[in-house]
Amino acid sequence: MNQILVSQKVYVTKERKRKRMIFKSLYIICILIVIALSIYYVFAEKNRNDQEAIGQDILSQLSDEDDSTVSRDNAIVIALDDSQEENDGEPDEVVEDPVIIPDNSSNQSSDGIEEQVKSSVTTKSGKKYNVDAIIYYKKLGIKYSVLSEESDALLKISVCKYWGPNPNEVGNYCIVGHNYRSGKMFGKLSEASNGDEILLKDLSGNTVTYIVYNKYVVEPTDVSCTSQLTNGAREITLITCTNQGKKRLVVKAREK
């Protein structure tokens, strides 16, 4: 019986070599992509932590009366973002330029000790930031200074005022913040529930307790949550992204 001996070389055709080369190339490319994404993630997370550190520096200085880097004055600086998108749900009155409103309230803390209003904080880097208030949502571990202006750069540092009156005044004080998977900023806001307490301390030292009464999701173009029609009550509105930035999560709270 005749036997045909076929060596391995017979099967290694040019087509097979080409496929092997393609497979090896794709494998190497995949490895390089994984490495690149890992490096990007590490640096992005480090950058977030560095920006977060600036926000915590601001917060710590607001609580430190002896820190010489804190500018003290008797005015609260309000700056509205000119880039805010206009539509039918936006408040009727739009302030285009920064406005300085004198603070005539008593600069007394809850324990009766006189305090100076602090609105401008200088960080270790030498940069100044205008601050409106401090928000404390104990249940979710949220405690941040509320910066007076809102921009992409400032949102990486802390939560920011988006719209409304001075903190703790009649009206709807709106605060916007990033939704980080790590839980930083407003990353845990989806866990908010009716009845939760949120404290807002203004720069005169007055602290008002607000009770959450509503939570819902809207389209990015829907800014009806910023309405100032509060029937004479003091309210705060917390806003963050959800569903990979395609929607907006809104949490509403009213003075206790």
- Summarised one tens digit per residue, pLDDT across range 97-151 is 333 333 333 343 433 323 434 577 787 778 888 999 999 999 999 999 999 999 9
Say which residue, 245 or 217, is predicted with more confidence.
Answer: 217
pLDDT for residue 79? 34
The partner residues of 211 in beta bridges, in order of sequence, read 197, 254
Residue 156 lies in a domain: yes
Structure pTM? Answer: 0.64
Residue 150 lies in a domain: yes
Cα separation of 67 and 65, whole Å?
A: 6
Q: Which residue from 212, 190, 72 is spatially nearest to 128, judged by alpha carbons? A: 72
pLDDT for residue 95? 31
Number of domains making up the chain: 1
Rounded mean pLDDT of 205-229? Answer: 94
pLDDT for residue 57? 75
Asked if pLDDT for residue 94 goes beyond 90, the answer is: no
Residue 216 lies in a domain: yes
Asked if pLDDT for residue 198 goes beyond 60, the answer is: yes
Residue 3 lies in a domain: no
Residue 18 lies in a domain: no
Residue 242 belongs to domain with CATH number? 2.40.260.10
Asked if pLDDT for residue 249 goes beyond 50, the answer is: yes
Q: Please give the residue range of the domain that contains residue 207.
A: 42-255
- 179-204 b/e (C-beta count within 10 Å ≥ 16 → b): bbeeebbbbbbeebeeebebbbbbbb
Contact 232, 170 (CB under 8 A): yes
Rounded mean pLDDT of 74-80? Answer: 33
Rounded to 5 degrees, φ, ψ at 16 are: -70, -40
Range list of H helices, the chain: 14-62, 152-155
Residue 221 lies in a domain: yes
Give the least confident one: 3-12, 34-43, 57-66: 3-12
Q: Within a 10 A sphere around the Cβ of 159, how many other Cβ atoms?
A: 25
Residue 75 lies in a domain: yes
Asked if pLDDT for residue 88 goes beyond 90, the answer is: no
Q: Which helix (H) or strand (E) holds 65?
A: none
Residue 25 lies in a domain: no
Q: Which residue from 132, 135, 133, 134 is spatially nearest to 192, judged by alpha carbons? A: 135
Rounded to 5 degrees, φ, ψ at 183 are: 95, -5
